[in-house]
Amino acid sequence: RAYSLVDSSQVSTFLISILLIVYGSFRSLNMDFENQDKEKDNSNASGSFNGNSTNNSIQTIDSTQALFLPIGASVSLLVMFFFFDSVQVVFTICTAVLATIAFAFLLLPMCQYLTRPCSPQNKISFGCCGRFTAAELLSFSLSVMLVLIWVLTGHWLLMDALAMGLCVAMIAFVRLPSLKVSCLLLSGLLIYDVFWVFFSAYIFNSNVMVKVATQPADNPLDVLSRKLHLGPNVGRDVPRLSLPGKLVFPSSTGSHFSMLGIGDIVMPGLLLCFVLRYDNYKKQANSDSCGAPGPGNISGRMQKVSYFHCTLIGYFVGLLTATVASRIHRAAQPALLYLVPFTLLPLLTMAYLKGDLRRMWSEPFHSKSSSSRFLEV
């Protein structure tokens, strides 16, 4: 009976979401290593070291932003619910631009591997547009091609590819600095998710979250052909677009699609990225202190269990629970209602048992000037 509650589309959702979180977290950690080595090179060249220097492209969420993010998301949801017909073209174009950049970031390691034997890593100047390597140009060209094909066909697989790029880019470039901010953000988003899925129908006579997530948008090519009066056969056969704010996978029978919003991947993914960085930070701190043992009341086996693996298992169990609940109740479920407790509670318990809770709660990461080896992703 338990097996019948999960079909092939949901198994695909499980695997893809976990792979995206793991890949995005390691890309984020790799970026930290690169920044540390660049800071070390700069300090060797200038004779001084600034431990507070950071990559300007990385956005760190503070407590105030964590508290107001669910409010901003609610306002955006209402705008899309009430004024979707007015803003759908602008929203589709903005989403396509962001998805192009994000998918190029996703393809960049593969393009670097392909161009390494036959092309130097020197950057090519494009005037005011900046300087780019051959791998960056190749990844961006492939990304633009994929977005154009998606606009022309509207295929769900291409939409999933763009959503994957958005997930990885957001996990890699957005950081949670402490466990306190993580708890504030995820708790607020849990309330946001539960309200808009379970209670919005009582106020707006419609499930706002489900309607916004599943409503297709007009194709920009169709809108452009109508505005320019290009004729009835020009641009009119393009499909409406389901926007890449979610992952969808068809069932084996093709009767329905399994859907998971990218917020249900990115937000727990930010927590997993935080604990992965903390595991690495603690490992470096222990190596600097010549392998000092942990608290005496914790066994050595418990000390070897990483926070990342514990939280990742909690994410999988929470996602499985959300899927079973949706099949039992035959209705959309707020995935964060299950994902947040299954990720935060084991993490808080393990941090308390290991004696790391106070340090993880409020202490930010320290920049380390020591060189670090890159992780191969």
Residue 52 CB contacts under 8 Å (≥ 6 apart), including other chains: 367
Q: Cα-flanking dihedrals φ and ψ of residue 234, to 5°?
A: -105, 115
pLDDT at 118: 73
CA–CA dist 358, 42 (Å, integer): 33
Tokens found for residue 125: 């100047």
Q: What percent of the chain has pLDDT over 90?
A: 44
From the list 87, 94, 62, the residue with the least C-alpha distance to 245 is: 94
The pLDDT value given to residue 133: 85
Q: Could you tell me if 14 and 320 are in contact, meaning their C-beta atoms sit under 8 angstroms apart?
A: yes
Query: What per-residue confidence (pLDDT) applies to 238?
Result: 81
Q: What stretches of 209-299 adopt beta strand conformation (E)?
A: 246-250, 257-261
Confidence of residue 75 (pLDDT cuts 50, 70, 90): very high
Residue found by looking up tokens 């920009």 in the block:
220
Q: For the chain, what is the radius of gyration of the CA atoms? A: 23
Mean pLDDT of 154-175: 93
User: If pLDDT is split at 50, 70 and 90, which confidence band does 2 have?
Assistant: very low
How far is 291 from 25, CA to CA, in rounded Å?
Answer: 25
332 confidence band (pLDDT: 50, 70, 90): confident
80 closest CA partner among 279, 216, 272, 280: 216
Q: Residue 253: which pLDDT band, with cuts at 50, 70 and 90? A: low
Catalytic residues: 193, 264
Cα atoms in the 13 Å half-sphere on the side-chain side of 198:
13
pLDDT over 90 at 367, yes or no: no
Q: Are 93 and 218 in contact (CB under 8 A)?
A: no
Whole-number pLDDT of residue 122: 74
CB 181 within 8 A of CB 66: yes
Q: How confident is the model at residue 53 (pLDDT cuts 50, 70, 90)?
A: very low
Residue 299, pLDDT score: 53
Q: How confident is the model at residue 123 (pLDDT cuts 50, 70, 90)?
A: confident
Q: Is the dihedral of CA 186, 277, 368, 36 positive or negative?
A: negative
Which of these ranges, 131-140, 168-177, 191-200, has the smallest mean pLDDT? 131-140
Give 121's DSSP letter: -
- In this prediction, residue 226 carries a pLDDT of 78
Stretch 203-231: mean pLDDT:
84
Q: Which residue has the higher pLDDT, 258 or 372?
A: 258
Q: Which amino acid is at 5?
A: L
Q: Where are the domains of the chain?
A: 8-39+57-117+128-260
- DSSP lists the bridge partners of residue 59 as 174
If DSSP codes are grouped into helix, strand and coil, which group holds residue 246? strand
In this structure, the number of other CB atoms found within 10 A of the CB of residue 176 comes to 24
Contacts within 8 Å (CB) and 24+ apart, 58-61: 58/31, 58/173, 58/174, 58/175, 59/173, 59/174, 59/175, 60/174, 60/175, 60/176, 60/177, 61/174, 61/175, 61/176, 61/177, 61/181, 61/185, 61/270
pLDDT tens digits, residue range 276-296?
999 988 888 777 665 445 554
Please report the pLDDT score of residue 33 as a whole number. Answer: 83
Give the tens place of pLDDT for each residue, 76-87: 999 999 998 888
Q: What is the rounded distance in angstroms from the CA atom of residue 24 to the CA atom of residue 19?
A: 8
Is 374 a residue whose pLDDT tops 70? Answer: no
Q: How many CB atoms lie within 10 A of CB 59?
A: 11
CA torsion 357-362-367-372 (nearest 10°) is 30
pLDDT, position 227: 77
- Mapping DSSP to helix (H, G, I), strand (E, B) and coil, where does residue 248 land? strand
Question: Which whole number is the average pLDDT over 137-160?
Answer: 93
**The pLDDT of residue 368:** 46
The pTM for the full model equals 0.86
- Tally Cβ neighbours within 10 Å of residue 21: 27
Give the pLDDT band (50/70/90) at residue 44: low
Rounded to the nearest angstrom, the gap between the alpha carbon of residue 48 and the centroid of all alpha carbons in its chain is: 35
Residue 355 predicted with pLDDT over 90: no
